[in-house]
Amino acid sequence: MLVTATEAKNRFGSVCSAAKKEPVFVQKDGRIDTVILSADQFEALKATQRSKNLKKHKSEFEKKYANWIKEMNQDFESTGHWCEDLRIW
């Protein structure tokens, strides 16, 4: 749905109802200025972004610490213990 900023202001209740079904694009000065989403759509968008960020961080971590990860995996495969070097102080 596409509305002008004036229409959005004057018909805010109906615009909010429409946003529950689909995003509402608010036009100002002939261009899209704002998008109104339902709370569910917004949460889904945030969840997608968090998932992308987590995948990116995981990939960066694995690249940065690839040698250490490989070493830890080899130690585990040879001894079967992941915490052999831990000490209680």
pLDDT tens-digit profile of 43-58? 999 999 998 888 899 9
pTM as predicted: 0.59
pLDDT of residue 74: 86
Show the DSSP H helices in 1-89 as ranges: 5-10, 12-19, 39-64, 66-79
